[in-house]
Amino acid sequence: MAGDRVLERVERLERELEAAEAREALARWQWLKSLDGGAKARYLQAKQERRALLSREELLRELDEAARMAGAASPWGRRRIEVLRRDVLSCQGPREVNGRLAALEVEIEEIHARQGPSPGPAGWRRTQEAGEDRLEEAAAALLLELAALRNQAARAAGFPDYYTMSLALEGVEEGQLKALLAGLARATETEVPRFGEASRASPALEALFAGRDPLPAARAYFDAIGLSVEPALAHGQLGDAPGASAGAWCIAVGRGGEVRLYGRIPPDFTGARTLFHLLGRAVYHLNLAPELPPALRVPPHPMVEAAAALLFERLLFDARWLAHWTSPPQGLRAEVTEIRSFARTAWAAGVRWRLVLASFEQAFYRDSRGSLHGLWRRLLRDFLGDTAAGAAPGWACAFDAGTASFRPHAWLMGMTAAAMLAKAVEEELGEEALVSSAAAGYLLIDKWFLHGARVPWDELVRRTFGRELDPEAAAQEGKGAGAR
């Protein structure tokens, strides 16, 4: 009987949280389509309601009691409680603090929704408009207040700062993360002198996608590998200019497998890359095991979803995939060398840009009273070189504090896992399996997608690859980028 009562409490919290998340996701979807004030207010209200639900003090006591009794009460019982406890702990604190945190997150997200992402050199289009400094100043004020409140909440929960708390709740050991980032820095340091090339487009890739809507090829490709994207596209709003927001998102609505896509998908290489990133995220959510309880129908860490997105995004640099799905009239023999060189430089540029952001994020929460401008410029010079440092946006316009995109360390972890996933699929099914084999999709579901949060992210990595995340695997992927 006691075990039944424990399970009932866990299931009730699961249902309440799933409903709150669904309301927030739908409100966010409506807001992104218009960016109008009424939709923004409804999104903020839904976000605050979810945080208020999780901030109830009695939840931690109930979950701790449930953990002591969970044992054999239900399948995955202890893991469900562990994941729910993580969600609850992330929102503990006074109601007014939670409300203000939600408001700040929405304001920062709006800045990035209106200006679009800042993905590094390939996306930097520095202007000298009169309002740019004012935007940087406004964003900086919001971010600094956000850091102070997040740190306040973290200290109340027993952590020295928000950065430490966030890694602990994600199950990431800081020493392990530092080793991964250091390995990626070493693997890409020879690319710094060529960094300016990453801000220019690849003529060969631009020619392949110029004037072409990438959606038909994407539909056909995902069908061919056994990963239909139709459920996501049915709720999507994609196109060259679908609405007010300049960004692109994949939004999971609740935990029942509903996915909604939003994004600007122009008929060019950048549009194709954005689309494949979104669809990679979508197929991950669409293929979570439906028998999992709601608490576990989520990624165990954002890097798991990021890996799916980046695995498919990398196809746009793969000469074999391009030859099969873009049907160039003369083939790609003459362009392979240029694509290979560009792919390697673009890969290294993306890695080093996220290394800037990851290093900055740690200092942002641990020393936000220091000279953030000086730190930002120093990190840009160290990782990207003087030329890139002079062209980059200010820190407040580039850093979204995780409100509008994957956090930088999650992107780097996901990129590493994507390289290892690609190699695992090719070793098991053949070198061209990811180009057109239906077995590839089923293998990805089995190895990576269906598990949800049933096991922690690092256990999923060890089960899938037989080892930890390996920066050398990512480096080898980068060296061969475009060659396959």
Tell me which amino acid residue 24 is. Answer: E
Cα separation, 353 vs 220, whole angstroms: 32
**Contacts for 280 with CB less than 8 Å, ≥ 6 apart:** 308, 309, 310, 311, 312, 313
pLDDT of 72 over the 60 cut: no
Per the DSSP assignment, residues forming a β-bridge with 250 are: 261
Question: pLDDT confidence of 194, banded at 50, 70, 90?
Answer: low
Tell me which amino acid residue 202 is. Answer: S
Exposed (0-12), middle (13-18) or buried (19+): which is 368, by Cβ within 10 Å?
middle
Q: What is the pTM of this model?
A: 0.93
pLDDT of residue 34: 86
DSSP assigned state of 447: I
**Contacts for 289 with CB less than 8 Å, ≥ 6 apart:** 297, 450, 451, 452, 454
Asked if 261 and 276 touch (Cβ cutoff 8 Å), the reply is no
pLDDT of residue 475: 83
pLDDT digits (tens, 9 = 90+) for 24-53: 999 999 998 888 999 999 999 999 999 999
pLDDT of 356 over the 60 cut: yes
Average pLDDT, the chain: 88
Average pLDDT over residues 119-125: 55
In the chain, where the domains are located: 2-159, 174-479
Cα separation, 220 vs 202, whole angstroms: 25
* CATH class for the region spanning 174-479: mainly alpha
pLDDT digits (tens, 9 = 90+) for 262-311: 888 999 999 999 999 999 999 999 999 999 999 999 999 999 999 999 99
pLDDT of residue 430: 95
Strand order in the sheet with 248-253: 237-239, 258-264, 248-253
The CA distances from residue 234 to 188, 220, 275, 288, 420, in Å, are 40, 15, 15, 18, 31
pLDDT of residue 199: 60
Asked if 93 and 387 touch (Cβ cutoff 8 Å), the reply is no
Among candidate residues 365, 368, 392, the one with its CA nearest the CA of residue 379: 392
pLDDT of residue 203: 86
Q: Tell me the percentage of the chain whose pLDDT exceeds 90.
A: 62
pLDDT of residue 196: 62
Dig out the tokens for 226 from the structure: 């056994």
Tell me which amino acid residue 352 is. Answer: R
Asked if 460 and 304 touch (Cβ cutoff 8 Å), the reply is yes
The CA distances from residue 420 to 140, 171, 426, in Å, are 37, 20, 10
Widest pairwise Cα distance in the chain: 72
Asked if 294 and 87 touch (Cβ cutoff 8 Å), the reply is no
193-207, 316-330, 466-480 — which is least confidently predicted? Answer: 193-207
pLDDT of residue 127: 41
pLDDT of 335 over the 60 cut: yes
